[in-house]
Structure 1
Amino acid sequence: MMEMPKYLLSKKFLTLSVVIIFLFSIPFLLIYKPFSATIWLGFHPLRNFLFTCIFYALAIFAMSLSKVVMYHYQMKRELSAGRFILWALSEYLLIALIYLSLTPSATGDVLHIHPQLVLKSSLCVGLILAIPYGYLCLVAANRALKEEYEALKASFNSNGKAGKILFLDYKGDPSIALDPTDIYYIESQDNYVQIYYESDGKLHKYMLRCPTQKLEGMLKGTQLVRCHRSYIVNLSHLWEFRRGHNCATIVLDNAEKKEISVSKSYYKQTRERLLELNPSQDKMVKHT
């Protein structure tokens, strides 16, 4: 089965899809309404405006709930392109049903619902959902392809180097092979991780669907250490270790001097690993 672009199912893109659909629908309806004798959505009269607000509130709630369920579903099971399309169709039918159910009250005519209205309202809702979804799919696919290209180039550049790390996805399939020294840090995002690595003098990132605990097993014997529930850092790129009263921060040696917090639960093992790898790095500890 064909999988959806990985970015499309991230929390950021799912949230963005609701926002974009909402923002797109407003100018779309303003343009569409003069050409339709059946649509009642609008800013005037007051009755139509109130029911328009009710419709938007219910539609946004339905879409938001759908995205939350989709997000948790895809964390446990694979969401193929076919399932995603069926999911989007379910959203479409639900929103069309909300519109039709409000129509008698909004128009004041119980008999206002007829085949022509059902057809036109279904077409209107379908376009409002399909156009933003199509745009987001293209953006997510383009981003994923660009990321895969950079990862392939980085893997090719590191060919011949000993001790490369082969990253496997949640299925156990190879995704990217990198020289450990090229990796700066890894950020965990639920069942996805973002690998930040250097290639051609620039910092790139690669999204991998893999639990953090499984990822830690791939990193044994390297200078990549988990310092936070959400972060794994490469101690070979340590610029400074800031130690405060109740906190600690690792500063990396990249151009942006990326700062990453060290949580209390991981402080001891991070500190021990730091001294184990290079005792002289203790001089880099800065008390704040």
Structure 2
Amino acid sequence: MLDLQSPIPKYITNKGNIVRLIFFTAGFALVFINIYSPFGVETWYNVTRWQLFFYSSLIILTGVMVVVISRVVMYQISKFKILLLWQYLIWILAEILSMAIFYTLYEMLILHDKRELLHVLKISVQNTALIILLPYSVLWLYFSWKEKNDKLNALTQGEPIFDPSKMVAFYDEKGILRLSLKIDNLIFIEAADNYVNIHYYNKEKISKFMLRNSLKKLEETFVNSEILRCHRSYMVNFEKVKIIRKDKDGLKLELDLPSTLDIPVSKSYVDSVMQTFSKYCQ
């Protein structure tokens, strides 16, 4: 079941993937309009098939500008705000409606379609939904497959998936960027009611930043990384773990930094912690 509150995958807002989406959508739309003949193209003047292909190309490329503008705006917004799945779905619906309005106005004002405006708009929405949703769905599956395949290849070849030299971004529950730091400086994250406290190394001392978000959401963000959930109240940067100790209260993680508490490990997270530990021992 889809979690509409979860962030969209990062490959959706990847610059290269956005370019691929635009070109693939334009190509699909061009083939679609010449084979299926929606939008009343059969009435576009008395022209040959090649002339129709030329005219339809111009119209399709003009309509696809809606997608171009939309995705450029989305790319810029994604730099400082996380888009949630429900927001992305609404965004797609807005793209469909905007493009349908464009084609409806073209039919009514340029082609002088005699049908009722609402009827033409309804048909345009249906056709535009096919033009957009089919290539979007195909590319979403392809991008997802490619990302998983790249991670599998990296694991097979022994390459690190998570680069500790990179920056890690922390967003609040509304998707607004609040903190960014090097992963190597992150120590652990602690739950605090409706907030989390991010403990990190800063100028030779340990600092704390309070963020309105949940560990569950952050756990989804840091999947397949060294930032690991080990307790219902804690996530830890496993690069900072010096010792795993077992005492009467269970497993404890001792961190390789002064003045930090030992992090407890819940029974439900013991397996994932030990699997991660075994990778470091290989």
Alpha-carbon distance in 1 for matches of 2:123, 2:30: 17
- The equivalent position to 1:144 in structure 2, one of 130, 142, 147, is 147
**What is the CA distance between 1:104 and its match in structure 2?**
1.8
The answer on 1:124 being equivalent to 2:127 is: yes
Question: Is the CA contact 2:70–2:95 (under 8 Å) kept in the aligned structure 1?
Answer: yes
Checking the alignment, whether the CA contact within 8 Å between 1:103 and 1:112 is kept in structure 2 is: no
Deviation at 1:30, TM superposition (A): 1.9
Secondary structure of the residue aligned to 1:112 is coil
Residue 82 of structure 2 is aligned to residue 78 of structure 1:
yes
Which whole-Å CA distance do the structure 1 matches of 2:91 and 2:74 have between them?
8
Residue 147 of structure 1 deviates from its aligned partner by: 3.3
Map 1:52-131 to 2 at 5 A.
Answer: 52=56, 55-109=59-113, 111-131=114-134
Q: Contact 1:48–1:106 (CA<8 Å) still a contact in 2?
A: no
Q: Deviations over 1:63-121 (max 9, x none)?
A: 21111100000111001222111111111100000001111233224x43344433322
The answer on whether the counterparts of 2:44 and 2:111 sit within 8 Å (CA) in structure 1 is no
SS of aligned partner of 2:41: coil
TM-superposed CA distance for 1:169, in Å, is 3.5
Alignment partners' CA distance in 2, 1:128 and 1:92: 9
Mapped contact 2:164–2:184 kept (Cα < 8 A):
no
Q: Distance in 1 between matches of 2:83 and 2:68?
A: 18
Distance 1:5 1:45, change over 3 A: farther
When residues 30 and 56 of structure 1 are mapped into structure 2, their CA distance, relative to the original with a 3 A threshold, is closer
| Superposed displacement of residue 138, structure 1 | 0.5
> Which residue of structure 2 lines up, in the alignment, with residue 39 of structure 1?
40
**Under a length normalisation based on structure 1, what TM-score does the superposition of the two structures give?**
0.49
Match of 1:145, SS state, is: helix
- Which residue number corresponds to residue 286 of structure 1? none
> Secondary structure, in 3 states, of the residue corresponding to 1:169?
strand
Give the TM-score normalised by structure 2. 0.50
User: 1:246-281: CA deviations, max 9, x gaps?
Assistant: xxxxxxxxxxxxxxxxxxxxxxxxxxxxxxxxxxxx
Aligned length: 171
Equivalent residue runs for 1:249-268 within 5 Å:
none
Letter in structure 2 aligned against 1:142: W
The residue type paired with residue 214 of structure 1 is K
Contact (CA 8 Å) 2:30, 2:56: kept in 1 or not? no
Match of 1:30 among 15, 19, 34: 34
Counterpart position of 1:9? 13
**Distance in 2 of aligned mates of 1:57 and 1:28:** 13
- Bigger fraction of residues in helix: 1
Residue identity over aligned pairs, in percent, reads 19
Write the deviation string for residues 152-186 of structure 1: whole angstroms up to 9, x where unpaired.
6677x99xxxxx959773239xxxxxxxxxxxxxx
Structure 2 residue corresponding to 1:133, chosen from 118, 131, 136: 136
Establish whether residue 20 from structure 1 lines up as the match of residue 24 from structure 2. Answer: yes
Report the aligned-residue RMSD.
3.7
Match of 1:245 in 2: none
Q: Is the 8 A contact 2:34 2:56 kept in 1?
A: no
Asked if the contact 1:59/1:95 (under 8 Å) is kept, the reply is: yes
Alignment of 1:240-279 (within 5 A): none
2:182 to 203, 214, 227: 214
Inter-CA distance 26–3: structure 2 relative to 1 (3 Å threshold): same
**Unmatched 5+ residue regions in structure 2?**
172-178, 187-282
